Copies of this chain bind each other. A is one copy, B any other.
Amino acid sequence: MDLGIETNSVRDRVWMALDGFRIEVPSWGFANTGTRFGKFVQGGAATTIEEKFADAAQVNALTGASPTVALHVLWDLPGGKADVPAIQALEKKYGVNSGSINPNLFQDAEYKYGSIANPSAEIRGNALAHLLDSVEIGRALGSQDVSMWIADGSNYPGTQSIRKRIGWMEEVLGATHAALGEGQRMLVEYKPFEPAFYHTDIADWGMALELARRAGPKAKVLVDTGHHYQGTNIEQIVAWLLHLGALGGFHFNDRKYADDDLTLGSIDPYQVFRIFHEILSVGKDDQAQIAFMIDQSHNLKGKVEAMVQTVVTAQELYAKAALVDRARLAELQQECRLVEAEECFRGAFWQDVRPIVREWREARGLPPEPLKALRESGYVEKITQERNSQNARSEFRYA
C-alpha cells in the first residue's frame, strides 16, 4: 500500500527531523492567565522568575526540545538590565537559556492611546526607551531576538489618524533597529485586533513587513498563528515571507475564532502540518533563520501539563511534515495531478508517527511518553504544594 512515503526511510526522516527540532517556551505560559472575565488561579502556577525557569527546565527534561525560555521584560526583569545577572544565575541553575526578549508596551497607563504610535512625542519617547532597554537586555543575555508585539490601535473610527501613526512607528522602529548589536534581530509581530478593536496599527503581515524593511535588515516578521482573520491561508503568508527572506519566527498556538491562544494543533492540526511543510520546503540555511516559539494561555489546563502536550504535539506534526515526499509531490504538482498530489501530501499527515517518536525518545534518553512521565514524576503535586500562587488574588473584569 502506498502511504505516500517510502516505508524504509520513514524512521530516518522522523529521527532526523526530531533531532533538529527546537521550540521555545514562554515564561508567561507558566503563570496564571485568564480572559477579560476573570482568571482561574492554579495552585502550581509560577509567580516568580525562578519558578518559571524551573517549569521550563521540567518541560525540556521531558521533551528534549525546549532548551530556551522566552522572557517578558516587565514581568521577568522588572529591574531591567540590573536583573540580568539573576537571570544568568537561573540559566545556570536550571540548564535552560534565555530565549527571545519581549518588551511590554501595552500595560502602562500612559500607553492608553498607544505606545510607539501615540500622538504624544513624549510617550513615544518612553516607548522607545523601553525598546532600547530590551535590546540591551537581549545583548547582555546573548539572546538573538527582541520580539515586538505592538498592541497600539484605536477603538473607534475617526478618533485617531491612522496615517500619521504609521510615520511615528517608522521613527521609533528605525531608532530601535539602530541599537541592535551583532547577531541581534528584531521581530515585528502583527495582529488584526484585540486589545484595540477598530484599528490595530500593525494589523497584518504586509504592514509588519513594511515596517521591518524600513527599520533595517535585522528586522524580520514574526507570525503568530492566532493573529489572522477567519479563513486566512497562513501557510501562504509563510510561503511569501520565505520567498522574501523576511520570516523571523513564529508564535505558535491555535484558535477557533479569535486570538484564543489555545494549544497548538488542538483545533486544526492539519493547518500546522501545512505550515511546517512550507518551512521544510526551503533550504537548511533559510530554515535556520526561523525561531519557533510557543505563545499560549492555558486558562483551564494544567500549566506544565499543557506545555508538555504542546511540545509533544509540535514534534509529532513536524515529524509528519518531514515525511512528505517532496520530490514526488513536486512532480505531481507540476503535472497538475490534483488528487494524487493531495494524497501524497495528506498521506504523510495520516501516518501515525507516535510509535516512531516514542522510539526516538528512548534512543535519546528521554521518557517515551512525556505526559505520562510528568504524571508519574509528581512534579505538579510538588509545585502545587510548594507554591503560594493559589493565594494569588483572583482578578476580575469589573472593580
Which residues of A approach B to under 8 Å, CB–CB? Answer: 1-3, 28, 31-41, 45, 47, 72, 75, 106-107, 109, 112-113, 119, 151, 155-164, 166-167, 192-195, 197-199, 203-207, 209-210, 229-233, 235-236, 239-240, 242-244, 255-258, 260, 262-263, 266-270, 274, 277-278, 281-282, 297, 299-302, 305-306, 309, 316, 329-330, 333-336, 338-339, 341-346, 350-352, 354-355, 358, 368-369, 371-372, 389, 392, 394-399
The 4 closest A-B pairs by CB, nearest first: A206-B206, A158-B345, A230-B230, A229-B229
**B206 contacts A155, CB within 8 Å?**
no
A157-B267, A399-B32 known; A109+B394 contact, CB < 8 A = yes
Q: Which residues of B contact A204 (CB under 8 A)?
A: 204, 206
Of B41, B282, B399, which contacts A392 at CB under 8 A? Answer: B399
The CA-CA distance from A233 to B335 in the complex, in Å, is 37
Of B1, B37, B243, B335, which contacts A107 at CB under 8 A? Answer: B37
**A338 contacts B119, CB within 8 Å?**
no
The CA-CA distance from A233 to B196 in the complex, in Å, is 12
The CA-CA distance from A31 to B230 in the complex, in Å, is 31
Of B244, B258, B306, which contacts A194 at CB under 8 A? Answer: B258
Of B155, B231, B268, which contacts A192 at CB under 8 A? Answer: B231
The CA-CA distance from A206 to B107 in the complex, in Å, is 30
**B343 contacts A371, CB within 8 Å?**
yes
The contact sample of 16 A-B pairs, CB cut-off 8 A, is: A1-B354, A34-B36, A37-B151, A112-B300, A157-B266, A159-B336, A159-B341, A162-B235, A164-B333, A198-B233, A198-B256, A199-B233, A206-B209, A210-B240, A258-B258, A316-B350
**A194 contacts B35, CB within 8 Å?**
yes
Of B34, B161, B230, which contacts A231 at CB under 8 A? Answer: B230
A-B contacts besides A107-B394, A161-B281, A198-B262, 17 pairs, CB < 8 Å: A2-B369, A33-B36, A41-B109, A47-B399, A113-B300, A155-B299, A156-B266, A158-B345, A161-B330, A166-B240, A192-B233, A192-B257, A193-B258, A204-B206, A231-B257, A270-B270, A343-B371
The CA-CA distance from A267 to B207 in the complex, in Å, is 23
**B341 contacts A396, CB within 8 Å?**
no
Q: Is the interface of A mostly helix, strand, loop or mixed?
A: loop
Q: Which residues of B contact A203 (CB under 8 A)?
A: 233, 236
A229-B231, A231-B229 known; A244+B210 contact, CB < 8 A = yes
Write the nearest CB–CB distance from A3 to chain B, whole angstroms: 7
The CA-CA distance from A352 to B348 in the complex, in Å, is 10
**A206 contacts B156, CB within 8 Å?**
no
Write the nearest CB–CB distance from A83 to chain B, whole angstroms: 17
Write the nearest CB–CB distance from A373 to chain B, whole angstroms: 12
Write the nearest CB–CB distance from A144 to chain B, whole angstroms: 23
**A397 contacts B33, CB within 8 Å?**
yes
The CA-CA distance from A35 to B398 in the complex, in Å, is 11
**A3 contacts B193, CB within 8 Å?**
no
Write the nearest CB–CB distance from A123 to chain B, whole angstroms: 10
**B346 contacts A158, CB within 8 Å?**
yes
Q: Which residues of B contact A159 (CB under 8 A)?
A: 333, 336, 338, 341-342, 345
A155-B300, A230-B231 known; A1+B355 contact, CB < 8 A = yes
Q: Which residues of B contact A231 (CB under 8 A)?
A: 192-193, 229-230, 256-257
**B157 contacts A345, CB within 8 Å?**
yes
The CA-CA distance from A62 to B34 in the complex, in Å, is 37
The CA-CA distance from A37 to B200 in the complex, in Å, is 15
The CA-CA distance from A44 to B235 in the complex, in Å, is 34
Write the nearest CB–CB distance from A236 to chain B, whole angstroms: 5
A113-B300, A267-B157, A300-B155 known; A197+B255 contact, CB < 8 A = yes
